[in-house]
Structure 1
Amino acid sequence: MTSPDTGPGDIAAAGLPEVVDTVAVARLYGAPLFQMPQDLYIPPDALEIFLEAFEGPLDLLLYLIRKQNFNILDIPLADVTRQYLSYVDQIRTTNLELASEYLLMAAMLIEIKSRMLLPPKKTEEGQEPEDPRAELVRRLLEYEQMKMAAAKLDQLPLLGRDFLRAQVYIEQSLKPRFPDVSVNELREAWLDILKRAKLTQHHKITREELSVREHMSMVLRTLQGRRFVEFQDLFEPTRGPQVLVVTFIAMLELSRERLIEVTQAEAFAPIYVRLAYQPA
């Protein structure tokens, strides 16, 4: 408080504002401001208030339906359309480009309502026509399902938002640190080795010495003490075609020297081989 004897000059010298009984409306750079400047210009869009934030026309329509507990399968289009248009009128005054998307949905609602007022016409097959609201209901249900799934995903813990990855640096000066090798690098190294092996592979051809006389003795030992042996039992297919050929030549040589007999009872009957009869 100042005394009655204090003059304006003393107040200015003390650095106090001349008006002390008026409440300051604002502060400018720390100094009190007791009245608004006469030349202050405030743009019309300096202050905007958004009551609800919607992500599109379907989001707004679903909000109006769920807020009033309407049955989504039986939407009262008259009430919903009226509330929808009132919201569109509000955003048209501030953002015409944003309102264009909502106007398209409003036109669709009005079209559906007009189709419901007309008498239904049966299809060419004589069936009842589909409810004009059916397509809109399908779109709303699909959008609500995706919105709920997105909300559940947003509730999952997120790296950088809900938790951070722990990073600990341990210096290992005594133990050498070798570079990490991935599975793909090992695979590429193995394929490179196989490629080089194909370029340097060797093919060795060997020749097996087969004796006709030796196989003649083998055939005679097989027939020794037996009345006869079926022709195919004298061959060993597992030893390869070379042994089969030499065994056949040995049999022909034994037959030429009359040491074995090859007999057949009738045409297409099995062929038998036995030792030739030697008179005493």
Structure 2
Amino acid sequence: MPQAIDGIAVARLYGEPLFRLPTDLYIPPDALEVFLEAFQGPLDLLLYLIRKQNFNILDIPMADVTRQYLQYVDQIRKHNLELAADYLLMAAMLIEIKSRMLLPPKKTDDGAEPEDPRAELVRRLLEYEQMKLAAARLDALPQLGRDFLRAQVTVEQSLTPRFPDVSVDELREAWADILKRAKLHQHHKISREQLSVREYMTVVLKRLQGERFVEFQDLFDVTRGAPVMVVTFIAMLELARERLLELTQAEAFAPIYVRLAYTPA
């Protein structure tokens, strides 16, 4: 252990106390430079200078503001010339406004008072300040992931089996299959029969009474011919439209079943 000079180590090097700085230690001049203010552009810096000294933004003392602005620009030019380009453009605008204010005002053709050279700059500063205040208010609002987290709750529910819906194409194919089988039961007895859709709606409902499921094709009496089957099919469509019965199947391309619509108490 080195002998302590004042009893206090100024640093530690590889775990060992260092009581005296090396004589050949080189520290760059800007190594410990600290920037206390960070601005988001020329307007932000200009607004900061005006508000810091309580200047009236509608009556800006251009000489004082321009001098302070140029002092800051000189500092950033030493470190970042590319960043200083935007600030130099604003500095040129300030110098131009100050020059126009030193000249005697020229009246317009209609005899009205000329516009204040600072008017456009004041308008831009006021608009920027409004946007900056609005952004600060938005940033103060609670944000998901920064100020709060969304709660997630897992709820276990019993899964009830859901039967696939019967498409129109599947219903048409089932109906075409029934017609095809009906042609195998043909006879030449000619008779005129009055068929009522409402009557066959009642027949279908009575057929489904007390049954959990009835296969679609079992509701048709193929021995009575096509007219009866057509009226029976129309009666089923009317009952389905009025939601008095349901058409379902266990899976795709499976047989179609018919049952009375379930109405909860």
**Same-fold status (TM-score > 0.5):** yes
* Amino acid across the alignment from 2:99: S
Report SS of the residue matched to 1:81: helix
Q: Deviations over 1:166-203 (max 9, x none)?
A: 0122344x43597xxxxxxxxxx9xx97xxx9xxxxxx
Q: Which sits farther off after the overlay, 22-31 or 57-66?
A: 22-31
Aligned residues: 167
1:156 corresponds in structure 2 to: 141
Task: Give the percent of matched residue pairs that are identical in Structure 1 and Structure 2.
Answer: 78
Gaps of 5+ in 1: 1-15, 179-188, 198-280
Shift of 1:18: 3.7
2:110 corresponds in structure 1 to: 125
Task: Give the distance between the partners of 1:92 and 1:133, measured in 2 at CA.
Answer: 26
* Amino acid across the alignment from 2:159: K
Closer, same or farther in 2 for the Cα pair 1:139/1:177, shift >3 Å? farther
Gaps of 5+ in 2: 173-265
1:175 corresponds in structure 2 to: 159
Report SS of the residue matched to 2:93: helix
Report SS of the residue matched to 1:149: helix
Query: Are residue 113 (structure 1) and residue 72 (structure 2) matched?
Result: no
Report SS of the residue matched to 2:126: helix
1:74 corresponds in structure 2 to: 59
Report SS of the residue matched to 1:103: helix
1:35 corresponds in structure 2 to: 20
Match of 2:49 among 30, 55, 64: 64
Match of 2:132 among 139, 147, 166: 147
Closer, same or farther in 2 for the Cα pair 1:21/1:81, shift >3 Å? closer
Shift of 1:94: 1.8
Closer, same or farther in 2 for the Cα pair 1:139/1:170, shift >3 Å? same
Task: Give the distance between the partners of 2:4 and 2:32, measured in 1 at CA.
Answer: 30
Q: Deviations over 1:227-250 (max 9, x none)?
A: xxxxxxxxxxxxxxxxxxxxxxxx
Query: Are residue 135 (structure 1) and residue 120 (structure 2) matched?
Result: yes
Shift of 1:89: 1.5
Task: Give the distance between the partners of 1:83 and 1:20, measured in 2 at CA.
Answer: 47
| Greater Rg by CA | 1
Shift of 1:127: 2.2
Closer, same or farther in 2 for the Cα pair 1:21/1:41, shift >3 Å? closer
Closer, same or farther in 2 for the Cα pair 1:21/1:53, shift >3 Å? closer
Report SS of the residue matched to 1:71: coil
Whose relative contact order is higher, 1 or 2, with alpha carbons under 8 Å and at least 6 apart?
Answer: 2
Closer, same or farther in 2 for the Cα pair 1:124/1:43, shift >3 Å? same
